[in-house]
Amino acid sequence: SLIASIDQGTSSSRVILYDAVTLRPVASHQVELQSATSNPQAGWSQMDAKRIVGTVTDSAAAALAAAGASASDVVGVGITNQRESTVVWDKRTGDPLYDCILWHDARTATTVSALADELGGQDALRATCGLPLSTYFSGVKLRWLLETVPAVKEGFESGTALVGTVDSWLAWNLTGGAGGRATRHVSDVTNASRTMLMDLTTCGWDGGLVRALGVGAAEGALPTIVSCAEEIGRVDGGPLHGDAAHGEDWRPAGPSSHLQAVNRRRSRGGLE
HEC sequence for the chain:
CEEEEEEECCCEEEEEEEECCCCCEEEEEEEECHHHEECCCCCCCEECHHHHHHHHHHHHHHHHHHHCCCHHHEEEEEEEECCCCEEEEECCCCCECCCEECCCCCCCHHHHHHHHHHHCCCCCCHHHHCCCCCCCCHHHHHHHHHHHCHHHHHHHHHCCEEEEEHHHHHHHHHCCCCCCCCCCCEEEHHHHCCCCCEECCCCEECHHHHHHCCCHHHHHHCCEEECCCCCCEECCCCCCCCCEEECCCCCCCCCCCCEEECCCCCCCCCCC
d(CA 256, CA 244): 8
Per-residue pLDDT tens digits of the chain, which is 272 residues long: 999 999 999 999 999 999 999 999 999 999 999 999 999 999 999 999 999 999 999 999 999 999 999 999 999 999 999 999 999 999 999 999 999 999 999 999 999 999 999 999 999 999 999 999 999 999 999 999 999 999 999 999 999 999 999 999 999 999 999 999 999 999 999 999 999 999 999 999 999 999 999 999 999 999 999 998 888 899 998 999 876 666 554 455 443 444 554 443 433 222 22
Amino acid at 57: T
Nearest one of 142, 145, 143, 192 to 167, comparing CA atoms:
192
Measured CA to CA, the distance from residue 234 to residue 7 in angstroms comes to: 18
> What pLDDT score was predicted for residue 254?
45
- pLDDT given for residue 173 in this prediction: 97
> Which sign does the torsion angle of CA 163, 186, 202, 158 carry?
positive
CA 202 to chain centre: 21
